[in-house]
Structures are given as structure tokens and as C-alpha cells.
């Protein structure tokens, strides 16, 4: 028996943690990021932060009414575990409200946040917070976000929130510039509305996604009950729509740098599940030539300028990560995260009783 426990002590704790219930979840979504977009990032960086994830999988993305999903339906699937039609956020095709993982996390006493490189009213972040029949309803989406219980709101979209600033400012500090953002400190809640609508591309952004992610984690991790954080590299998709491989690569690199911040925290914390995936692939992108030695890509191609039905990659790190091994539907991501949050709530409740 003594020999058994001696051998047990040699097994890394991370192996046990992979199957346990996380207290925190950080979901990274590379919008439009298929396997080839990841390939391009690896060629340029040499080694990706995503590669630190011991679990890898693949994800199907079709929506309730189309083989090729849009970001609204895919975000809803990952946020709620249920399919909906393209263009719909947080509702069934018949208009019934679907509770999101952020709302479920808040019910469990956890903090929540989003950090994105687009307007906060855009389809992916909105899909985790609001319930509207059309993703283009930016004023209504902003109103629902402002009245929500989300603790951290980092991104663009100031123009849509101007009427709701008094409401937001009663809840939390709201900053508008890079300088103000860097002077935030660690309040319990915070909003950064850094651009009128969308931020510029990665090369022109004053604050990289990694910095937004680090600050969001710093704020949310103050909650002992845990947190859920959505981080989106929004503009991988836009570069792919435009068949712009240069911008595509810089956006993948910016996104992967943010993933590094999430995994660094999870490694130290030991109670955090990190999931890295996409909502769909865009452009039918392919890497056609380049040099590993020079970390250069000299030739790329695109099938067209819209989304595809291609299976997308998934990477997972930390407690619960083994649940994501293999091939899944995007709804499985939502169902699994929700199950973990409810299990975490029950374990906290048992400990308190």
C-alpha cells in the first residue's frame, strides 16, 4: 500500500484536474478561425499558446436552418447548448428565450465578462448576453447589455451605448481611452468602450486582446465563487471575408497571444478550464507556400468571401478538459460548460452547508 501511494505521488496533479469540475471557465473564440488559419498562425509564430492545451478536438457548426452557420446562431449554440436559426441571438427559432451560460453563471453567484475586438453589440458577444430575433438590432442589444448583470465589458460600440451610459456608470467605472483603461486598477466591475463602433485591425489597435484579457481576469478572479469569461478574436473573420491573408495572420497572432494569458492564469490557478475554439471557418482559406525556417508564408488561397461548413478546431486546458476530446457539435460546448457551472454551484453549496 505504501508503494502504491509513493507511485501515486509521482503522477502530476494536472492529470487528475483534467477530469474534475472547474471553478472558472475562459472561452476563447477565434471568429472565422478554421484549421488552416491556425496553421498560418503556427508557421508565423513557430509555437502557438494553443499547443499548450493537452486536449484537442473538432467541432461541427451548422445552425438550425442552414448547413453554413452565421456568428449569431453559432454563438447562441455555444452560449446555450441549443441550435437556432442564422441571425437569431439567445432565442429558439420560435422566439422562446434560451438562458445563456453567462446568465447561469450569474445565478450560481459567479462573476462574468466579455473582452472582444469588435463592438460589444456584435453577434458573438451579444449571443452570450441578450435575447433578440435579429443580430442587427444594435440599439436593443446595447440596451439589454447595459441592463444585464455582466461584470466586465471590454470592446467597442460606444455609439450604441451613449443613451445607457448613466445606467452603466451607476454599476461600474466606464473608461473610453487606452490611458484610462491602463489606470483602471482592479474594481469589482468595469466597462471599457474604447471605440465608436469597431476597433481597427490588430496592427493599429492601441490595446491588444491579450491586455484586455489580462485585465478581465484580474478583475473577475477576485470573486471566490468563480467566473465565466468570453474572449473573442473577432477580426480573424473579417480578414478572411476580405481574403486578406496579411490581416488574417496578424489577427490570429493577436488572438493566440490572448490565449497565452488565459493559459498562464489557468496554470497558476489550478481551478480554471480554458477552451479555445471558433464559431465557424471563413473564406475556405489555405496556406499554399512559405518557409518554416523563415517563419514566412508566401502564398495563400481562399475559396470565396463567406463562411464555410468546415469542421473547426478545439483546444482545452485544465479541469474538465477531457470532456472536449474528439468530435463534438457546437451545442456540446454550451451543454458541457453549463453542466460544469451547475456542478460547481452544487459543490460550493455542499461546502457551505
Residue from 20, 63, 71, 234 carrying the catalytic annotation? 71
Q: Domain residue spans in the chain?
A: 17-352
Q: Where are the alpha helices (DSSP H) in the chain?
A: 2-8, 13-17, 35-45, 71-80, 101-107, 123-127, 138-146, 158-161, 165-171, 178-182, 209-220, 235-241, 245-269, 330-352
| Residue 41 near residue 256 (C-beta atoms within 8 A) | yes
For the cut 60, the answer to whether the pLDDT of residue 9 exceeds it is no
Question: Cα–Cα distances in Å, from 94 out to 83, 84, 88, 303?
Answer: 11, 9, 10, 34
pLDDT > 70 in the chain, percent: 93
Query: 302-339, pLDDT tens digit by residue?
Result: 999 999 999 999 999 999 999 999 999 999 999 999 99
* Measured distance CA(318)–CA(295) in Å, rounded: 30
Strand partners, 154: 115, 192
The pLDDT assigned to 2 comes to 46
For the cut 70, the answer to whether the pLDDT of residue 19 exceeds it is no
Query: 27-48, pLDDT tens digit by residue?
Result: 999 999 999 999 999 999 999 9
Identify whether 20 is a catalytic site residue.
no
pLDDT > 90 in the chain, percent: 92
Please tell me the CATH code under which domain 17-352 is placed: 3.40.720.10
Query: pTM for this structure?
Result: 0.93
Amino acid at each position: 500500500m505504501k508503494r502504491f501511494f509513493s507511485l501515486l505521488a509521482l503522477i502530476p496533479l494536472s492529470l487528475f484536474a483534467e477530469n474534475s469540475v472547474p471553478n472558472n471557465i475562459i472561452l476563447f473564440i477565434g471568429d472565422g478561425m478554421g484549421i488552416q488559419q491556425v496553421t498560418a498562425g503556427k508557421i508565423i509564430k513557430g509555437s502557438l499558446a494553443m499547443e499548450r492545451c493537452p486536449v484537442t478536438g473538432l467541432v461541427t457548426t451548422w445552425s438550425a436552418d442552414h448547413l453554413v452557420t452565421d456568428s449569431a446562431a453559432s454563438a447562441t449554440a455555444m452560449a446555450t447548448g441549443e441550435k437556432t436559426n442564422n441571425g437569431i441571438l439567445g432565442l429558439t427559432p420560435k422566439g422562446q428565450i434560451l438562458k445563456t451560460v453567462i446568465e447561469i453563471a450569474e445565478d450560481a453567484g459567479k462573476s462574468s465578462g466579455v473582452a472582444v475586438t469588435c463592438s460589444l453589440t456584435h453577434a458573438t458577444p451579444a449571443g452570450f448576453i441578450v435575447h433578440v430575433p435579429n443580430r442587427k438590432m444594435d440599439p436593443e442589444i446595447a440596451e439589454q447589455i447595459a441592463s444585464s448583470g455582466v461584470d466586465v465589458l471590454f470592446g467597442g460600440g460606444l455609439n450604441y451605448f451613449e443613451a445607457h451610459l448613466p445606467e452603466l456608470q451607476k454599476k461600474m467605472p466606464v473608461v473610453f481611452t487606452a490611458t484610462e483603461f491602463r489606470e483602471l486598477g482592479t474594481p469589482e466591475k468595469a466597462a471599457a468602450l474604447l471605440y465608436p463602433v469597431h476597433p481597427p485591425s490588430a496592427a493599429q489597435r492601441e490595446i491588444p486582446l491579450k491586455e484586455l484579457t489580462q485585465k478581465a481576469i484580474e478583475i473577475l478572479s477576485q470573486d471566490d465563487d468563480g467566473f465565466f469569461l468570453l474572449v473573442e478574436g473577432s477580426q480573424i473573420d473579417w480578414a478572411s471575408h476580405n481574403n486578406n491573408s496579411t490581416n488574417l495572420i496578424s489577427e490570429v497572432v493577436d488572438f493566440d497571444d490572448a490565449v497565452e494569458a488565459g493559459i498562464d492564469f489557468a496554470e497558476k490557478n489550478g481551478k480554471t478550464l480554458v477552451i479555445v475554439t471558433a464559431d465557424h471557418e471563413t473564406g475556405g482559406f489555405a496556406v499554399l507556400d512559405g518557409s518554416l525556417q523563415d517563419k514566412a508564408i508566401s502564398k495563400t488561397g481562399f475559396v470565396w468571401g463567406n463562411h464555410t461548413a468546415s469542421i473547426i478546431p478545439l483546444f482545452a486546458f485544465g479541469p474538465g478538459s477531457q470532456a472536449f476530446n474528439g468530435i463534438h457539435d457546437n451545442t456540446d460546448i454550451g451543454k458541457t460548460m453549463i453542466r460544469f457551472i451547475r456542478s460547481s454551484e452544487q459543490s460550493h453549496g455542499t461546502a457551505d452547508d
